[in-house]
Amino acid sequence: MGSALMAEEVRLASGIDSRGPKVCMFEECNKDSVALVGGKCSSLGELINAGVRVPPGFAVTTAGYAQFMREAGIQDEVDALLQVLDHDDMDRLEEASRQIREMIESRPISIELEDLIAEAYRKLSVRCYLPAVPVAVRSSATAEDLPGASFAGQQDTYLWIRGIDEVIHHIRRCFSSLYTARAIAYRIRMGFPHEQVAISVGVQKMANAYTAGVMFTLHPSTGDRSVIVIDSNFGFGESVVSGEVTPDNFVVNKVTLDIIERTISTKEICYTADLKLQRSVAMEVPAERQNIQSLIDDEITELAWMAKKIEKHYGRPMDIEWAIDKNLPVGGNVFVLQARPETIWSNKQKAPATTGATSAMDYIVSNLLVGKRLT
């Protein structure tokens, strides 16, 4: 029954209108734009229009993707490769994925679509006062951030991409990532028709992050909705999202925004921009910084406040990626990069009751009993 409901969600999200705009700015999108720009880009547009601080950008839409595939003339070959696959046969999945991705990445983008992308990138660079502005190029599938599905993370993201030729090259790579072996296997296993899941690509101004990470508006281990949990590391958030480091961890009371738990980890690597190579690279964190708290308390409080605002707007627990830009002044340098519905505890009928003085109300009462003023 669950799979049938999710399949229906996918079908409704994937009504691709090939006549729609091929490129649009994030602020032109909202939560109802999933069929046009996918889950990630529609969420970014929704956040911008809700007044949340999000780096600007634009989306190459599913209509742009559909035009590219139509002009590439490879859809019949792709369909033939997909028809004979089994989700448990990893060797054949990997080989089919390799062939499909090579076909997509070797085809040129039409001059018409390339001009639209180039103009949007030029406008973004002007807006950011930076020639050839560095961007993150992010896949945004139409079924990606549906509350009932787990498509998120199955397509590709590329960081610190600079210059229109590189942007277009990585847009093609994002198109092809709709056909990673993992994504193909998941769709087969869950019974989602391949033709009903399309892809958009977000091109977003890169936050030159001093610190970045993820946060949840509930406790991801217990489902406790009275707290916000923040994970952070130096540099871009890739090291946290991929699990390559054990990040610093902060638990914040959702009502008072007090930090009630903090765990400072040894953070041995981070991702940052190599300005000579103009790309994102992994580097070792200097020994003297590895055990330093990667966020100051004021930043933790601001992040928690933003998380509360986002949760209130969506009306459900959220999974949020964020960054603190080292090139901007304090007070305007904390950005949300993505926000999607939390899918594990939110799908349970009721989160387990917490024990001890860990809920928001318990925390407030316990502080009143000891005479602590809550500010």
> pLDDT tens across 159-197, in order?
999 999 999 999 999 999 999 999 999 889 888 888 888
Mean pLDDT of the chain: 87
End residue of a domain, out of 181, 205, 229: 205
Does 64 share its domain with 201? yes
Within-domain flag for 375 = no
Average pLDDT over residues 29-50: 95
Instruction: Residue 68: name the closest of 116, 24, 15, 26 by CA.
Output: 116
Shared domain check, 173 and 27 = yes
How much of the chain exceeds pLDDT 90, in percent?
Answer: 71
Whether residues 165 and 256 share a domain: the answer is no
Examine the fold and report which residue of 205, 237, 257 is the final residue of a domain before the chain moves on.
205
What is the chain's percent helix, strand, coil content, to nearest 5?
A: 40, 20, 35
Residue in 349, 342, 345, 333 with CA at minimum distance from that of residue 311: 342
Segments forming the whole domain that contains residue 302: 209-369
Cα distance between residue 78 and residue 59, in whole Å:
24
Helix (H, G, I), strand (E, B) or coil at 184: helix
pLDDT band at 43 (very low <50, low <70, confident <90, very high): very high
When pLDDT is cut at 50, 70 and 90, the band that residue 278 belongs to is confident
Asked whether residue 366 carries a pLDDT value surpassing 80, the answer given is no
Distance CA 1, CA 23 (A): 36
Is 285:267 a contact under the CB 8 Å cutoff? yes
Query: For the chain, what is the domain count?
Result: 2
Identify whether residues 341 and 248 lie together within a single domain.
Answer: yes
- Residue 24 maps to a domain: yes
What CATH number is given to the structural domain containing 134?
A: 3.30.1490.20
Q: What angle do CA 135, 138, 141 make, to 5 degrees?
A: 155
Which region among 12-26, 138-152, 183-197, 199-213 has the lowest average model confidence (pLDDT)?
138-152
The reported pLDDT for the residue numbered 144 is: 54
In a domain, 126, yes or no: yes
Closest CA to 338 of 253, 240, 270, 251: 240
User: Which candidate, 351, 344, 323, places its Cα nearest to that of 136?
Assistant: 323
- Look at residue 9 and tell me if it is in a domain: yes
Residue 60: the pLDDT is 98
Query: What digits encode the pLDDT tens for the residues 268-277?
Result: 999 999 888 8
The angle formed by the CA atoms of residues 290, 295 and 299, to the nearest 5 degrees, is 175
Between CA 210 and CA 333 the distance in angstroms is 10
- 8 A C-beta contact, residue 159 and residue 236: yes
Whose structure tokens read 């198109």?
175
Among residues of the chain, what percentage have pLDDT more than 70?
84
Q: Do 169 and 265 have their domain in common? A: no
Same domain, residue pair 184 and 215: no
As given in the structure block, the two tokens for residue 70 are: 């139509």
Q: Please report, for residues 67, 98, 291, 321, 338, the alpha-carbon distance to residue 44 in angstroms, rounded to integers and kept in the order given.
A: 24, 31, 33, 11, 6
The domain boundary, picked from 182, 205, 228, lies at 205
Statement to judge: residues 349 and 230 lie in one domain = yes
For residue 374, tell me if it sits in a domain: no
Task: Find tokens 């989160």 and name the residue.
Answer: 351
Q: Which two tokens stand for residue 173?
A: 């790579």
Is 247 in the same domain as 198? no
| Average pLDDT for 135-164 | 75
Q: How many whole angstroms separate alpha carbon 41 and alpha carbon 39?
A: 6
199 and 213, same domain (yes or no): no
Asked whether residue 206 carries a pLDDT value surpassing 80, the answer given is: yes
Residue 225 CB-half CA count within 13 A: 15
Q: How many CB atoms lie within 10 A of CB 353?
A: 9
Residue at 248 is within a domain:
yes
* Residues 146 and 279 placed together within one structural domain of the fold: no
Per-residue pLDDT at 1: 40
Q: Which pTM does this prediction carry?
A: 0.84
CATH of the domain at 330: 3.30.470.20
Please name which of 234, 209, 207, 229 lies closest in space to residue 218, comparing C-alpha atoms: 229
> Residue 177 is encoded by which pair of tokens?
């990532």
Same-domain pairing of 185 and 244: no
d(CA 374, CA 360): 12
pLDDT (tens digit per residue) in 302-344: 999 999 999 999 999 999 999 999 988 888 999 999 999 998 8
State whether 102 and 63 are in the same domain.
yes
